Chain A
Amino acid sequence: MMGYRAFLLTVFTLLILVALRFITEAEPIGFITPQFVTFVMFYVALGLAFNIFIGMTGYVDFGYVAFMALGSYAMASAINRASSLSLPGYGAIILGLVETIVLTFILALIVGGIALRLRGAYFAIATISVNEGLRFLVDGLDIWGGSAGIYVSGPLIRLVGHEAYSFIALIVSDLLLYATAFIALIITFVYLNSRIGYALKAIREDEDAAKVMGVNTTFYKVLAFSTSGILGGLIGASWALKLAAVYPPEAFNIFYTVEAIVIVMLGGAGTFLGPIVGGAVYGGLKYVLSGYIPGYQLLIFAPILIAIIVMVPQGVIGFLRERSERLREFIA
């Protein structure tokens, strides 16, 4: 089994995070509150889900947030529909998750089928344009409430009542998020230890050579792309449960894609621990900085980001891996 030590270490780290979430529920430890843990977890999950595509194939998807947005919208619209028909509340959430999976899969097939024929800069530009195009489409044709957006918390409260709402917005949404992170991690492990992992690695190193060797490159690329996309959709869907409303400029904000890239770069692309380290460092710093110096956190972030890219382009974990033979086994 490849990288099983690293995998176990990562699972262990994730479990600690989950435990922290519930321990701090009763009493916060320092600045660590359940909100803080979930905030960090959001970025960890994002990193893990994004890593499946970017880390394994080396393609940069600049339209990743489109999947998250689609997930948020699917969840929001399922809740709204259930609310107007007064269906059971939890059924709506499950329906929202199913819709998320179906919609993001369809989007991934379409975008993947078209854009994945392109490489490098061309692919990056194509995915940016898909993201912006979708946003303008939702906005311009008044789909899902157009530019006004679509409410979540209001209909959800009407559907299940105040008490159950706060349970859903705090506990259920957190659990869904954590579950998504675990699923992403397990899928990474399974992929790495199967044919799929070899195929993707071959594509990352030399796509033409992989093709010549008989690897169905398109199939594996679309597979990784849609897996990563569906998981992104699930993150968006579970996060939507916490929101008051979903609307285009926020849901399609390209900044989330950038954050996902930063997390993967920070930790080290294509590693297990990378997204966790990246997500924790990024999410933690962002949370703390926005608490102490609100409004300036991005100004401080940007130079740090540039410095990391210039000095350790392979990421923290990648850097450690190169440095130490012994560490390599644990952090593969």
Chain B
Amino acid sequence: MGSVLGLGAVGLSLIFGVLRVVNLAHGAFLMLGMYITYWLFVLYGLNPAISLIPSFIVGLLIGAIVYQTIISRIMYGPELSTLVAGVGLMILLEEAAKVMWEPTYRGFIYDIGTVYVGGIGLPLSKVASALLSLLLVAVFFIVLYKTKLGTAVRALMQDPEGAALCGINVRLMYALMFSLGVSLALMSGSLIALHQQQGINPYVGHSYLLIAFVIVVLGGLGSLHGAYVGGILVGVIISLSTLVFTFFGVPQPMILAHFIAFLLILIILLLRPQGLFGGK
């Protein structure tokens, strides 16, 4: 679970790290990815792993459109503009999804067996999605650190003006990275669909947006490997504190575990605003 969450958080962190934009529509993009997996599976019986490819392509397309029509026009304006535009986009996507696919919960079961690790049964679909997300993150980091494109991205994160001076097409890179960030969100959504016990609905993205924030803050805003490790940490923290609260007989352990996650944000923002892995 944490690994899949981490994949989405990397997308959010990429957009913040490169464009300095907090993408509040992130949860809505996750939701789109979930629906892609759901429909492809229900209508064509497509393997959820394969639906990562359409998620990737749709994400790139939507990201490019959104960047061109909205983000590129306001990203140099006050922070408030991009935040509000993100919320507008979130509402638009959610309402469109509601009109097209109805607000009811839809779920599917993709059962490919269970593996036993040390006596604990794990559904194979979850294990597979965790491994897939690990693979995707690995590919992402190889691109980031071993290719020319990745070097350009890292240069841009450090100093946009310096990067422009070195002949990097900043606008093109911004568009690309925004689209890639959105793609990562959709792919993460595709995989999260396998973890969604009560099914998906158009508003399912809200809770993931907030969790993604916790993750990104934990790892350090704009730190990419921090986001991934943060995802795993948050997954572990939520599961562990749920266990502890159940042990002490708290009325609603799951919900209180989320409270702990948000408490964590505040503590980290206060003590170490750059996050656990942020440089400065």
A298→B95 contact, CB < 8 A: yes
Question: How far does the Cβ of A159 sit from chain B's closest Cβ, in whole Å?
Answer: 28
B236: interface (CB < 8 Å): no
A48: interface (CB < 8 Å): no
A121: interface (CB < 8 Å): yes
B91→A301 contact, CB < 8 A: yes
A258: interface (CB < 8 Å): yes
In the complex, per-residue mask of B242-280: 1 if CB is within 8 Å of any chain A CB, else 0: 000100001111111011001101100110010000000
How many interface residues does chain B have, given as a range? 35 or more
Given A121-B16, A121-B22, A306-B89, are A299 and B99 neighbors across the interface (CB < 8 Å)? yes
A299→B74 contact, CB < 8 A: no
How many interface residues does chain A have, given as a range? 35 or more
Please report the C-alpha to C-alpha distance between residue A122 and residue B220 in the assembled complex, in whole angstroms: 11
Specify which chain B residues have a CB less than 8 angstroms from the CB of A147 in the assembled complex.
252, 255
Given A126-B266, A140-B250, are A132 and B210 neighbors across the interface (CB < 8 Å)? yes
Chain B residue nearest in CB terms to A261: B84
Of the candidate stretches B30-38, B75-83, B170-178, the one touching chain A is: B75-83
Question: Quick one: which of A25-49 are within 8 Å of B by CB?
Answer: none
Please report the C-alpha to C-alpha distance between residue A141 and residue B252 in the assembled complex, in whole angstroms: 7
Please report the C-alpha to C-alpha distance between residue A130 and residue B213 in the assembled complex, in whole angstroms: 12
Instruction: Tell me whether chain B's interface is mostly helix, strand or loop, or mixed.
Output: helix
**Most B CB within 10 A of own CB, among A62, A265, A296:** A265
Specify which chain A residues have a CB less than 8 angstroms from the CB of B265 in the assembled complex.
125-126, 129, 133
A305→B88 contact, CB < 8 A: yes
In the complex, per-residue mask of B49-84: 1 if CB is within 8 Å of any chain A CB, else 0: 000000000000000000001100110011111011
A132→B262 contact, CB < 8 A: yes
Specify which chain B residues have a CB less than 8 angstroms from the CB of A146 in the assembled complex.
251-252
Question: Quick one: which of A273-332 are within 8 Å of B by CB?
Answer: 296, 298-299, 301-303, 305-306, 309-310, 313
Given A136-B255, A140-B255, are A306 and B269 neighbors across the interface (CB < 8 Å)? no
B96: interface (CB < 8 Å): yes
Please report the C-alpha to C-alpha distance between residue A58 and residue B81 in the assembled complex, in whole angstroms: 11
Of A54, A121, A310, which is within 8 A of B70 by CB?
Answer: A310
Question: How far does the Cβ of A114 sit from chain B's closest Cβ, in whole Å?
Answer: 6
B22→A136 contact, CB < 8 A: no
Question: How far does the Cβ of A66 sit from chain B's closest Cβ, in whole Å?
Answer: 12
A128→B210 contact, CB < 8 A: yes
**3 interchain residue pairs of minimum CB distance:** A140-B256, A133-B262, A302-B92
- Since A147-B252, A265-B81, A302-B88 are in contact, a sample of 9 more A-B pairs with Cβ atoms closer than 8 Å, ordered by chain A residue number, is A58-B80, A60-B80, A115-B269, A118-B273, A125-B217, A133-B263, A136-B262, A261-B80, A305-B85
Can you report 21 A-B residue pairs in the complex whose CB atoms are below 8 A from each other? Answer: A58-B80, A60-B80, A115-B266, A118-B269, A122-B273, A124-B79, A124-B83, A125-B213, A130-B266, A133-B266, A140-B245, A140-B251, A140-B255, A142-B251, A258-B84, A298-B91, A299-B92, A299-B99, A309-B70, A310-B69, A310-B85
